[in-house]
Amino acid sequence: MKKIILDTNFIIIPYKFNVDIFSEIDRISGFNYELCVIDKTIEELNKLAESGKGGGKRAAKLALALLKSKKVRELKSSGSYADDALLELASPINIIATQDIELKRRLKAKGVPVITLRQKKYLILMNV
């Protein structure tokens, strides 16, 4: 079973673009998978939910609620930055879901599959 690990900016897509990332992941995944999120992502969302302003605060609260309702598994990670932790967990078996351009470039160089948003409407799976 593959793990699809969600990055912070990816989890905010439902708020920003009104796209159901969970049904979209189902649509593009022709394999068994488990949705996961790293502890650093949860920390980032909690900080935004508590001390963020306006839309960022609302987006973080929605993201946390979605993660809880969809029972997304939390993974422990090392390092101090979420991107570094995601790169550590990255492998051809794990898929990283992100909108971060720099992170996508680094993942592509490692040959890691990436899920990303296209045209602010739908998700695609790249590099498989």
Q: Domain containing 74 — which CATH number?
A: 3.40.50.1010
Number of domains in the chain: 1
Q: What's the CA gap between 6 and 80, in Å, rounded? A: 17
pTM of the full structure: 0.91
Tens of pLDDT along 33-72? 999 999 999 999 999 999 878 888 899 999 999 999 999 9
pLDDT value at position 8? 92
Q: What's the CA gap between 70 and 45, in Å, rounded? A: 16
Query: Which tokens hold the place of 104?
Result: 């996508």
Q: Which domain holds residue 43?
A: 2-126
Average pLDDT estimate for 86-103? 88
Say if residue 70 is exposed, middle or buried (CB neighbours under 10 Å; 0-12, 13-18, 19+). exposed
